[in-house]
């Protein structure tokens, strides 16, 4: 078990994270929060690369700082941005990292080849990485994090740049990996974790806002999400009154998906089952930006023939 106890992290005088208490057992954990919320900060601390300003992180009951190398032997880590020599091939890069981790040559070669196959890079394992796309590089990163068959796998935005097919492949890999180790990944893409994470951790204002099964997180908005058609003339007032989750301009008005906290509902409001995306949008709604956006791009009534615009 990996536990985070009363951890805070400051950068200068700025408090990035405060009073974080979390515990992780085998399974997949999705750390979901917007840009700048502190995901990377938390993951770097969990990887033992950044010391907490306060509090302690422990693995199997011992402080990871004290375990030091013993912990690192159990750890696989994919940084949000990782460095490599552009003229290296993925195979050479993996073998180099395996050597640093103290693996023997033969084992390193075998395991590197297997892992590159697993992320669908088997055919290009001897090509220079400077010729790779962003998504291919990302897959090299995922493979290297698995070199030492880690008990704790920490992935900082592993799906950035992956196409839908590779995302799907990655999700099924995650499910397998999570059966016998702790897998913690950060993302701001809800669909990356909605179906595969055993638990979702939401960070807000530097604190843990929620840590729960995806369905229990969705239950936060149970009975509060609706859809309805709003005529153009009433749309502005409607946007002021209700947090909007999605809206689509159609010929006869706006199809709005929104949250109503109150008791009062109207007959033409259709109750909807909340999804994780709804919760994300609601928890992290940003009133100031919405106002700025409305001033920059005032929404004109949509004419016939312009329907189907999704905003």
Ligand X SMILES: Nc1ncnc2c1ncn2[C@@H]1O[C@H](COP(=O)(O)OP(=O)(O)OP(=O)(O)O)[C@@H](O)[C@H]1O
CA distance linking residue 92 with residue 99, whole number of Å: 11
Place of tokens 């090299």: 140
CB of 30 to Mg ion, least distance (A): 14
For the CB of residue 223, give the shortest distance to Mg ion in the complex, in Å.
34
Cβ pair 38, 203 in contact under 8 A: yes
Query: To the nearest whole angstrom, how small is the minimum distance from the Cβ of residue 151 to ligand X?
Result: 24
Which residue number is nearest to Mg ion in terms of Cβ? 40
3-state class of 197 per DSSP?
coil
Helices (H) and strands (E) in the chain, counts: 12, 15
CB of 186 to ligand X, least distance (A): 6
**36 contact, one of ligand X, Mg ion, none, CB 5-8 Å limit per kind:** ligand X
- Distance of closest approach, residue 156 Cβ to Mg ion, in angstroms: 6
Residue closer to ligand X by CB (options 141, 249) is: 141
Both structure tokens of 227? 């859809």
Q: How far is the CB of 11 from ligand X (least distance, A)?
A: 3
Number of other CB atoms surrounding residue 219 within 10 Å: 13
Nearest residue (CB) to Mg ion, 33 versus 152: 33
Residues 6+ apart with CB under 8 A from 260: 224, 226, 242, 269
**Alpha-carbon gap, residue 260 to 266, rounded angstroms:** 11
Encoding tokens for residue 93? 């890069």
* Contact in structure between 80 and 108 (CB atoms under 8 Å): no
CA atoms within 13 A on the CB side of 240: 3
Q: How far is CA 199 from CA 60, 168, 203, 268, 297, in A?
A: 20, 19, 13, 35, 37
Here's the x/- map for ligand X, 250-289, by CB under 6 A: it reads as ----------------------------------------
Q: ∠ at Cα 58 (52, 64), nearest 5°?
A: 70
Binding site partner of 41, from Mg ion, ligand X, none, Cβ cut-off 5-8 A by kind: ligand X
- For ligand X, the binding residue among 3, 5, 8, 16 (CB under 6 A) is 16
Residue 36 C-beta: closest distance to ligand X, Å? 4
Binding to ligand X in span 170-229, by CB under 6 A: 188
Q: What string of DSSP letters covers 6-73?
A: EEEEEETTEEEEEEEEEEE-SEEEEEE--TTSSHHHHHHHHTTSS--SEEEEEETTEEHHHHTHHHHH
Task: Give which of Mg ion, ligand X, none residue 37 binds (C-beta under 5 to 8 Å, depending on kind).
Answer: ligand X
Q: Per-residue string for binding with ligand X, 27-46, x by CB under 6 A? A: ------x-xxxxxxx-----
Lay out the site mask for ligand X across 41-70 (x = CB under 6 A, - = otherwise): x-----------------------------
Instruction: Map the footprint of ligand X across residues 75-114, applying CB under 6 A.
Output: 80
Site for Mg ion in 63-102 (CB under 5 A): 80
Among 40, 58, 95, 138, binds Mg ion (CB under 5 A): 40
User: Using CA atoms, how far apart are residues 133 and 100, in angstroms rounded to an integer?
Assistant: 26
Residues 138-157 as x/- pattern, contact with ligand X by CB under 6 A = --------------------
- Minimum Å gap between C-beta 208 and ligand X is 13
Contacted entry of Mg ion, ligand X, none for residue 16, CB cut-off 5 to 8 Å set by kind:
ligand X
Q: What is the greatest pairwise CA distance in the chain?
A: 71
Q: Which residue ranges make up the site for ligand X (CB under 6 A)?
A: 11, 16, 33, 35-41, 80, 188
Q: Which residues bind Mg ion (CB under 5 A)?
A: 39-40, 80
């Amino acid at each position: 078990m990996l536990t985070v106890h009363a951890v805070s992290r400051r950068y200068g005088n700025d408090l990035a994270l405060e009073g974080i208490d979390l515990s992780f057992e085998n399974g997949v954990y999705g750390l979901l929060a917007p840009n700048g919320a502190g995901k990377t900060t938390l993951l770097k601390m969990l990887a033992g690369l950044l010391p907490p300003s306060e509090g302690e992180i422990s693995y199997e009951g011992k402080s990871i700082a004290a375990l030091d190398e013993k912990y690192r032997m159990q750890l696989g880590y994919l940084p949000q941005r990782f460095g490599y020599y552009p003229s290296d091939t993925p195979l050479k890069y993996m073998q180099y990292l395996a050597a640093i981790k103290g693996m023997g040559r033969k084992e390193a070669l075998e395991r590197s080849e297997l892992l590159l196959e697993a992320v669908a890079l088997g055919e290009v394992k001897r090509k220079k990485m400077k010729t790779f796309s962003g998504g291919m590089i990302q897959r090299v990163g995922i493979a290297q994090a698995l070199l030492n068959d880690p008990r704790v796998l920490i992935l900082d935005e592993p799906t950035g740049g992956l196409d839908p097919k590779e995302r799907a492949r990655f999700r099924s890999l995650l499910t397998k990996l999570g059966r016998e180790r702790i897998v913690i990944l950060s993302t701001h893409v809800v669909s990356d974790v909605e179906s595969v994470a055993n638990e979702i951790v939401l960070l807000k204002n530097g604190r843990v806002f929620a840590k729960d099964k995806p369905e229990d997180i969705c239950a936060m908005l149970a009975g509060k999400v609706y859809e309805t058609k709003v005529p153009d003339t009433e749309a502005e007032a409607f946007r002021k009154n209700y947090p909007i989750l999605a809206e689509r301009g159609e010929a006869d008005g706006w199809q709005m998906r929104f949250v109503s906290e109150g008791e009062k509902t109207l007959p033409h409001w259709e109750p909807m089952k909340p999804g994780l995306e709804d919760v994300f949008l609601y928890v992290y709604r940003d009133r100031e930006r919405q106002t700025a956006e409305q001033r920059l791009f005032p929404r004109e009534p949509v004419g016939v023939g312009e329907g189907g615009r999704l905003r």
